[in-house]
Structure 1
Amino acid sequence: MIYIRFATVVAIAWLGYYFGTPVGLDIQWPLFEALRTTSAIVFGIVAALLALVYPDAVKNALRGGAPADENDGGLGRLVTPCGHSAMLLVALVVMAPLIAWLGTFNPNDVTGNAATIRKGTFSVFCVLSYWQIRILLMVLIPFDDLYTKVTVGIRRVRLRRDMHSNGRS
């Protein structure tokens, strides 16, 4: 499975590099900002949800207590996307000054190098966007499972209540 993911990242990077020539840094900058904002929102929401759903685990971890046991009840399903979002934010914050600096160059002065820079930064943007999509899927799939379990539980409670009463009133 790891080879398929690696091949996917390489293919996305190559496609971004191949098609990145016409996409200037002035166009790429708002895209990087949108990616940073999305990642920050996902990080904030998942971290808040983690603190709400698993407050004891968060308190224990902040106090330096014992790690959670192997049967964490889904804690890892929230910690993993939160960690990935944090790493993506760090990568974007580190890259921001570099991309801003590269945007100061006049493309007419260094035509060959400017095209390579545009291709490279767009390739990096494509890979980071793929990473953000994976993070969003890591968040959305457990939420869909949670929604399904909650609605089934509600239906089960209503059915039991209706069975033990004199029918629907």
Structure 2
Amino acid sequence: MRIITVILLLILWVSAVAGGYLYGQSVPFSEQWPLFEALRTTSAIIFAVVGAWLAIVYPERLRLSLNPPNEGGQAKSQNNIGILLSPAVNSTVILCIVLLVGVSAPLLKRADIAHTYITECRGLSYSLLVALTLWQAWTVILTLVPADLILSRANQENRRREVLDGLRKTSVKEK
């Protein structure tokens, strides 16, 4: 089931990027750039929020979620760290690409070859915008993972506490 979902998402992503290339050829870069700026802002916000959230929560509560007792310890902790940091890493890469587009676009506008292939350049630029936007949307979804890890760990702790409380009550009644 998971492989089918991945294949379908990949097909949708490729279709959206191809559609961005085809339909983006008629969209001038001056109309595309505000969308790149919005993407840059979103990436910066997600990077900051995820970083701040990890810095605030990690020392206190997240340490328990990342390294639960008697459940694989170090290996599980390293795996969860990668999962938790992936939104920040994704946003950083997206941010870098958008910054590079911002720096290179004025230079490319002055290049003769860009004027020769202006339609294709617009299409490539717009398809890049579509690809980065979809990647950023996925990254936004990934920001929910830390909250889910903490919630699962809290639920496990509550169940464990309930079991221990039940055992204590049983042992007190037996005495």
TM-score by length of 2: 0.65
Conserved 8 A contact 2:43-2:94: yes
CA distance in 2, matches of 1:71, 1:148: 14
Structure 1 SS opposite 2:12: helix
Alignment of 1:21-100 (within 5 A): 21-55=25-59, 69-72=74-77, 74-100=80-106
Deviation at 1:3, TM superposition (A): 4.5
2:66 paired residue number = none
Q: Are 1:18 and 2:19 matched, yes or no?
A: no
Q: 1:118 to 1:8 in 2, by over 3 A?
A: same
Q: Structure 1 residues 50 and 145, CA, compared in 2 at 3 Å: closer, same or farther? A: closer
Instruction: Find the aligned partners of 1:129 and 1:118 in 2 and give their Cα distance.
Output: 16
Deviation at 1:6, TM superposition (A): 4.0
Change (3 A) 1:27 1:102: farther
- Structure 1 vs Structure 2 CA RMSD: 3.7
Structure-1 separation of matches of 2:149 and 2:59: 21
Q: State the percentage of identical aligned residues.
A: 29
- C-alpha contact (below 8 Å) 1:54/1:75 kept by paired residues: no
Structure ranking higher in helix proportion: 2
Aligned residues: 143
Report the alpha carbon displacement of residue 147 of structure 1 after superposing the two structures with TM. Answer: 6.6
Shift of 1:118: 1.0
Between the aligned partners of 1:126 and 1:134, the Cα distance in structure 2 is 12
Q: CA deviation at 1:7?
A: 3.1
TM-score in terms of structure 1 length: 0.67
2:138 to 123, 134, 137: 134
Q: Deviations over 1:40-95 (max 9, x none)?
A: 1100110111111223999xxxxxxxxx8222294333211111111111111122
Query: Where does the alignment leave 5 or more consecutive residues of structure 2 unmatched?
Result: 64-72, 159-175
> 1:69 is paired with a residue of what secondary structure?
helix
The one-letter amino acid of 2:88's match is C
SS at match of 1:22: coil
